[in-house]
Amino acid sequence: MPVNVLTQPYGRPEQKLSAQDNFLVTLHQPFDLAGAVQQQAAGQVSLTNFLRAHPTGAAHIWALSNNHIGQRVWPAIQPDDLVLFYGNGQVYAYGFVTSKVHWPGNSFIWPSGADWDYIYSLRDFQLVPKADARGPAFYEVFYLTLRHPGLSFMT
């Protein structure tokens, strides 16, 4: 099965001023998505696949916005797709998709607010140390992408 690579542009978290930065809230440590859904959207959002992948209800999560790009990319994202987080010409984190959750009108999880409707969870999430962002760890990620036949990049 082909593997997609989803590239997520975002500045390195330490360059942000707020401790409530989106990255720090949901990627730097596992986020309790099941608890957030129960509190804000009980019965309106299906977590079946998410809870199968993450029985505790918590995981590293990220989202696509409810715009034309998010709507175009969302159907193509599949489990085991590689996600690269980058900014300022450096890859600084990566992980593999485990599940997807569609939460229409979600403005509850990320401090930046509105319409992060297309949520996906990650396994094997890794931060790339800043010193290695263009060094060995970056090339390890790069070669990982080359080992998959049928690879396609989504941006």
Smallest Cα–Cα separation from 37: which of 49, 29, 27? 49
Count the domains in the chain: 1
Closest CA to 121 of 104, 95, 98: 98
Is the CB of residue 102 less than 8 Å from the CB of residue 66? no
DSSP-assigned letters across all residues of 75-121: GG--TT-EEEEEETTEEEEEEEEEEEEE-TT--SSSTT-S---EEEE
pLDDT 10s digits, 25-64: 888 889 999 999 988 877 789 999 999 999 999 999 999 9
Q: What is the pLDDT of residues 98-147, one digit of tens each?
A: 999 999 888 888 877 778 899 999 999 988 876 554 555 555 555 555 55
In this prediction, residue 151 has a pLDDT band, given cuts at 50, 70 and 90, of very low
Q: For residue 17, what are the domain limits? A: 4-154
Residue 17 pLDDT level (bands cut at 50, 70, 90): low
Q: The pTM is what?
A: 0.81
Q: Mean pLDDT, to the nearest integer, of 8-31?
A: 75
- Using DSSP, state whether 46 is helix, strand or coil: coil
Distance, CA of 82 to CA of 97 (rounded, Å): 7
Which carries the bigger pLDDT value, residue 51 or residue 149?
51
Taking CA atoms, 111 is separated from 14, 41, 44, 106, in Å, by 16, 17, 21, 11
Q: What is residue 155's predicted lDDT score, i.e. its pLDDT?
A: 44
Amino acid type, 148:
H
Amino acid at 33: L
What's the pLDDT at 106? 86
Residue 77's pLDDT is 94
H/E run at residue 153:
strand 152-154
Provide the pLDDT for residue 145: 54
